[in-house]
Structure 1
């Protein structure tokens, strides 16, 4: 009951923000993101390993602080889920599943993902999606879409109030736009943007061999050959001189991956009463 009330409170808050004006101010955007983040972090198994948390935060900050929205209080989190996914909330909250980190081989691939999610925040894609929705079950729907947590009480509460995937699903237009942002974002940080299409290709290969692990990514991030080709064209358009000699990997990234691999297995959430 308490969780259900929390989700209803969030929905009411979000609806008030969206109905108050056609344009959501940055202050409102940050408040909405902070409220949503509280719900998300109550529902998802956020990794509390200091080394892992600080590593992702440092890499993310390196990229985010060089963007046009460097005034935001950017925050980065790792979710203890083997599902391959990542998502962004309004105001600068970025979440990356351990499964996605496991799917990378080198640092520039994770940097590309962070640059992409940062791009969604820069373009305010989640806010725009929320403005087009009539019902908001934001945090619980994220939990259901991005991990295997759908059977807990928070997930059921979202279903009961008609929650919709207003943050978890991006249009192809939004994805192309975020890809473009990602290329520029990592370039400013002196990181090779080639990690973006490299990871895309890895995920497309995994879709053939491990579909249940990557389905969440494809559900929330439409991905096809055209996006891979487009990302390569974006990189080529920057010019060979601009990408020459940029970082692809660093020794500490491999230690970071080993630390992630040693994390305890995710706790399977208990089913809510009355569910099957």
Structure 2
């Protein structure tokens, strides 16, 4: 029982971190966001809502400057003020912004947002437990090895979620009459908008797939769907 105690403590730590992270995230978003009100985007969101057979899609503006969209664990969808400003300045079209909303809807519908929070807490618990165990056999460098492996696992899980949310968004955009063109055109300009430098980094350490991989996956889905319609 004594040998299992570090693992049990790590699991309890993970559960506590999940509760705390969810509470802190909700508090931050509640304090720093307002509901999006844009007549052009509303038309596109109403089209997507109709395609989903729901009354409306509610989106909030999160008052931070980095360009991003996010889906909260409680199911709410946010666009950052920085991203919305790019749209108001004409650097992002309304259809491209709609593709971001569709992508975040995918994260919510597929359960990614809540699972990511749980995964994050679980990975922290696993990290703590493994460092305790591996550190006994490989002093000094053991914790470095554990941290590296956990980070690679988290990146791979995140990339899988992004591909799934992209596919969901593509299907929704097609059904809503918007199409996947804006989704692909936004990916082509996203690195410049965000200031990211992911193109120079190996794909396996990134939390998001590379642009060419995302566009290729969307086009593969389009070809598959078109083939299905033709066969039907």
Q: TM-score, normalised by structure 2?
A: 0.58
More helix per residue = 2
Shift of 1:223: 3.4
Unaligned runs of 5+ in 1: 1-10, 17-31, 137-168, 213-218, 243-276
Q: Select the residue among 48, 58, 61 that pairs with 1:63.
A: 48
Aligned-partner Cα distance in 2 for 1:51–1:94: 14
1:75-86 correspondence runs (5 A): 75-86=58-69
Aligned-partner Cα distance in 1 for 2:17–2:57: 22
In structure 2, the CA distance between the partners of 1:78 and 1:134, relative to structure 1 (3 Å rule), is: closer
**Does 2:209 match 1:200?**
no
Spell out, residue by residue over 1:36-85, the C-alpha distance to the aligned partner (whole angstroms, 9 max, x if none): 77413345x3246x743x765664454245338x49x8531012333110
Unaligned runs of 5+ in 2: 1-14, 124-155, 198-205
In structure 2, the CA distance between the partners of 1:178 and 1:228, relative to structure 1 (3 Å rule), is: same
Aligned-partner Cα distance in 1 for 2:99–2:69: 11
Aligned-partner Cα distance in 2 for 1:42–1:67: 26
Task: Give the total of aligned pairs.
Answer: 175
Shift of 1:126: 1.8
1:250-265 correspondence runs (5 A): none
Q: Select the residue among 125, 129, 134 that pairs with 2:116.
A: 129
Per the alignment, in what secondary structure is the counterpart of residue 117 of structure 1? helix
Per the alignment, in what secondary structure is the counterpart of residue 121 of structure 1? helix
Task: Decide whether the 8 Å contact of 1:108 with 1:193 is kept in 2.
Answer: no
Task: Decide whether the 8 Å contact of 2:17 with 2:121 is kept in 1.
Answer: no
Per the alignment, in what secondary structure is the counterpart of residue 59 of structure 2? strand
Aligned-partner Cα distance in 2 for 1:127–1:65: 25
**Does 2:220 match 1:233?**
yes
Aligned counterpart, 1:181: 168
Aligned-partner Cα distance in 2 for 1:234–1:105: 24
**Does 2:26 match 1:41?**
no
In structure 2, the CA distance between the partners of 1:96 and 1:203, relative to structure 1 (3 Å rule), is: same
Task: Decide whether the 8 Å contact of 2:18 with 2:118 is kept in 1.
Answer: no
